[in-house]
Amino acid sequence: MTSRLVRIPSLVTPASSTLIFLHGLGDSGDGWVSLARYLQVEFPKIFNKTQFVFPTAPVINVTVNNNFPMNAWFDLYEFGSSGNFNFESIENQYPKRDTEGFIKSLDYINELIDEQVNKYGIDPSKIVIGGFSQGAALSLAISLTAKKKIGGILSLSGFPVLPIPKAKTLLSDSGAVNLNTPTFHGHGDVDPVIPLMLARYSKEYYVHQVGSLTNYTLREYNGMAHSTCDEELKDIADFLQKVYQD
């Protein structure tokens, strides 16, 4: 996979930590550069040696949007239900999934991790993989395929994608090295795109059903839709500080 990358260098060189952040459906890497600016301006002493990588997904025809071409990490065949489903039946209710495209994007993220280690000399324990919506689905799933133990996983409005049997197979093949990697999942309680129940199921999925993560924090934000908010941004900064300064 080839992708345009927006790179924000660290304020002080050489960099000692990296945040790789993946955007949501129809967006681009440029759309999240403000996150780097926020962290560097508001917390310069904490993130002065952190560099940021914002890749842009390839343009594909997205089925759910009448095959309209847009930046997407994987195809979406239909939007999930916002109804009250239960954890036991959600695996059968969940819409058809683009497993092949999803795994291809996971492979690309692992290439970005390798680049940070091999080209920039960043310790894997100081690399955080983050994302919003589609990107957050991938950041959570990197726990299934990463063969390096990374520092943290940041999911903003994320959700599970892969069927459980496939997820377990990928986890076994990778060696399950990120079982205790700190994971922060922020989600709005009035999200109309990825309903809150999917966020709660995501924790159930990764911690209990697949078993790829054990250190998983889910934070729900009152009144937040499919977006972010000041309170969540502060929690992101706190989470990243703990990872980078441990």
Give me the active site residues, please. 133, 191, 226
The closest of 62, 51, 63, 66 to 27, measured between CA atoms, is: 62
Per DSSP, 60 falls in state E
Handedness of CA 20, 26, 30, 35 (dihedral sign): negative
Phi, psi dihedrals of residue 218, rounded to the nearest 5°: -110, 120
83 Cβ contact list (under 8 Å, min separation 6):
none
Q: Whose structure tokens read 């924000």?
A: 8
41 Cβ contact list (under 8 Å, min separation 6):
none
As given in the structure block, the two tokens for residue 60 are 């594909």
The span from the CA of 78 to the CA of 10, in Å, is 39
β-pairing verdict for 5-8 and 50-55: antiparallel
Amino acid, res. 50:
T
For residue 180, the tally of other CB atoms under 10 A from its CB is: 10
CB 24 within 8 A of CB 135: yes
Amino acid, res. 88:
E
Q: Whose structure tokens read 């000692």?
A: 16
